Structure formats: C-alpha cells, structure tokens
Amino acid sequence: MVVWNVVFDYIIVMAGRRVVAAAGMAAAIVPLNIDEFMRPALARGLWIATAAAAAIVIVGLTSVQLARSR
C-alpha cells in the first residue's frame, strides 16, 4: 500500500510541476486548461502504481511459497 501511494503521489506531483511550468510559459498567450495535464496523469498514475504494487505482491507471495516448500 505504501509503494502504491508513493508512486501515485510522485506521478501526480510531476504532473503538477508540468502544469506550473506550462502556466509560466503560456500565461500571456493562451489560457491553460489544467485537465489536459492532470487527467492523463491520474490514469497513468493509477496504472503505474498498481503495476508496481502488484509486482511487489507477486514477488513477496512467490518468496513465501518458495520458503514454505523448503
């Protein structure tokens, strides 16, 4: 659960930083739509965080199974 939360939070924070950088560059030219940055980051964060947590769970359960068989 901790790994999932850390990975998800990292991806959301990085998307937020991209929003701030884009807002600084385009403030005078075009209004910025934050959804263009955050919605894809939300979906990407969910998938990457779930994959990372699943990999850890699979390795952990496999290790337990191997330890029990010995």
Retrieve residue 27's tokens.
Answer: 């403030």
Element (H, E) at 21: helix 2-26
pLDDT-based confidence at 20, cuts 50/70/90? confident
**Residues of the chain with pLDDT > 90: what percent?**
66
What pLDDT digit, counting tens, does each position of 6-17 carry? 999 999 999 999
Q: Report pTM.
A: 0.77
Q: Which of 3-12, 21-30, 32-41 has the lowest mean pLDDT?
A: 21-30
**Hunting for tokens 């560059």 — which residue is that?**
25
Are the C-beta atoms of residues 42 and 13 closer than 8 Å to each other? no
In the chain, where are the structural domains located?
A: 2-69
Is pLDDT above 80 for 68? yes
